[in-house]
Structure 1
Amino acid sequence: MDVLDDGGSARRRELLDAAYDYVLTHGLRDLSLRPLAAAIGSSPRVLLFLFGSKEQLVAEVLARVRADELALLTELDPAATLAEAAVTIWAWLREPRRRGLLVLWHEAYGRSIADPDGPGGRFAAESVGVVLAALARTQPADVRDSADGLAQRTAVMATLRGAVLDLLATDDADRLTAAVEHAARSW
C-alpha cells in the first residue's frame, strides 16, 4: 500500500527518483505506467495522483536528466581552456556507468525534435543552449563574444555529441578518446 506522507512531497520525490532510475535502464520509448509503478513499488493511480499525468512524470524525469547535464557543466574548472573543457566533458561522458544516461539523453533529444509540443519538447534546444553557455565560460571574453568563438563552441559540442553516438553504437572508448583529443588540439 502506498502511503502519502508530508502531503505527498516526500513520497513524490522518492517515486521520481525511482522513476528516473527505472527510465535510465528501460528508456522512455515504451514507458507505461503499470510496469513502471510495479517496478518502483507504487501504483498507476498513485503516480497519476502525484504527477498529474504520465506526460508530467516524463517531463519531470527529463528535468532530472537536465539537472545531471548541468551538474557536469557547472563542475568545469573556470580556468580551463575550451580544449581542456572538451576533454574533461568527454572523460565524464565515456565512463561506462553513464551509458544509461547517455541513451536517455539521446532518446529525450530525439523525442523533443520529433514532438516539440510533447513532454520535454524544448529538451534539445535547451540542451544546445546549456552546453554552449558552459563552454563559453572557458573562452576569453573577446573570443567568447565573436562569431568565431561561437563556431569553436559549436564544433566542440558537435564533436562530443557525435562521439557519444559512436560510443553508444560501438563501445570503442579508446578510439573515440583519441579522436576527441585530436580534435581538441585544434580548439
Structure 2
Amino acid sequence: MADTTTAPSARRTELLELAYAYVRRNGLADLSLRPLAAEIGSSPRVLLFLFGSKDGLVRALLSRAREEELGLLRDLRADTPPPSGLPAAGERIWAWLSDPAHRTLLILWLEAYARSLVDPTGPWTEFAATTVTDWLDVLATAQPESERDTPDGLAHRTAVLAVLRGALIDLLATGDRPRITAAVHHLLHARSPSPSRADQL
C-alpha cells in the first residue's frame, strides 16, 4: 500500500516563512488574514486551503517559533558540558535572549505565552507549559548527574529559569540591557549563606 503522507508543499513552506516574518513584525494580536495575505503575496483563500483555518495558521506559526527556540536549545546542549554548571548555561541563554536581533521573536513568544494562559483552548494551547519544559530540560543538561535528578536540582534550575524569564520581560519593557545583564549575572552566581551563617540570621 502506498504511503499517503506527504511533506508540506513548497508553497506552504514559503508562505509560512513569510507569515512568520510578518507576525514577528506585527504580532499575533488581531491577526487578520486579508492584510497578512496582501503583505506576503497570497490570498485568504490560499491560506485557508494550505493551513485549514486561521487557527491552523496560528498553530503553524507557533510551531515555527518553537522550532527556532529548540534550535537554540540544541546548540546549548552541544556547547554546554554538564561540569560547566547552571551559571554558565544561564549566561549563554541570557546572551541569546538579550541580543537585539532576537527581540521580535521574543515579543512574539511572550505574546503567545500570555495568550496560552488567558485562552487555554485557543491555537496556543499549552504553549506556555511546553516552553517551560523545553527550557528546564536544557538547564538540566548543564547540571552534574548527582544534582540533576534531585529535588534541589529541580529547584535550582527552576530558579535560574525564573531569573531569565523575569529579566527578559524587564528587557522587553525597558531595553536597559546593561542594568539587567548585571543583575542576571549577579543572581546566577549568587551563593546561599553557609549553614553556620544562616543559623546566625
Q: TM-score range by the shorter chain?
A: over 0.9
Residues 51-107 of structure 1: per-residue CA shift (max 9 Å, x gap): 000000000100011111111111112313211010000001111111101100100
Residues 88-136 of structure 1: per-residue CA shift (max 9 Å, x gap): 0000111111110110010000011111111021100000100001100
Which residue, out of 126, 131, 139, partners 2:130? 126
Instruction: Calculate the aligned-residue CA RMSD, in Å.
Output: 1.4
Q: After TM superposition, what 4+ stretches of structure 1 lie above 2 angstroms from structure 2?
A: none
The answer for unaligned runs of 5 or more in structure 2 is 1-5, 192-201
The total of aligned residue pairs comes to 182
Q: TM-score with structure 1 length normalisation?
A: 0.94
Structure of larger gyration radius: 2
Whether 1:17 and 2:36 are equivalent positions in the alignment is no
Which residue, out of 85, 90, 96, partners 2:94? 90
Deviation at 1:8, TM superposition (A): 7.1
Residues 33, 182 of structure 1: CA spacing in aligned structure 2 closer, same or farther, 3 A cutoff?
Answer: same
C-alpha contact 1:8 1:50 (8 A) present in aligned 2 = no
Question: What CA distance in whole angstroms lies between the structure 2 residues aligned with 1:153 and 1:7?
Answer: 37
C-alpha contact 2:24 2:105 (8 A) present in aligned 1 = yes
C-alpha contact 1:28 1:104 (8 A) present in aligned 2 = yes
Residues 147, 49 of structure 1: CA spacing in aligned structure 2 closer, same or farther, 3 A cutoff?
Answer: same
The answer for unaligned runs of 5 or more in structure 1 is 1-5
Paired AA for residue 58 in structure 1: V
Question: What CA distance in whole angstroms lies between the structure 2 residues aligned with 1:8 and 1:24?
Answer: 22
Q: TM-score with structure 2 length normalisation?
A: 0.87
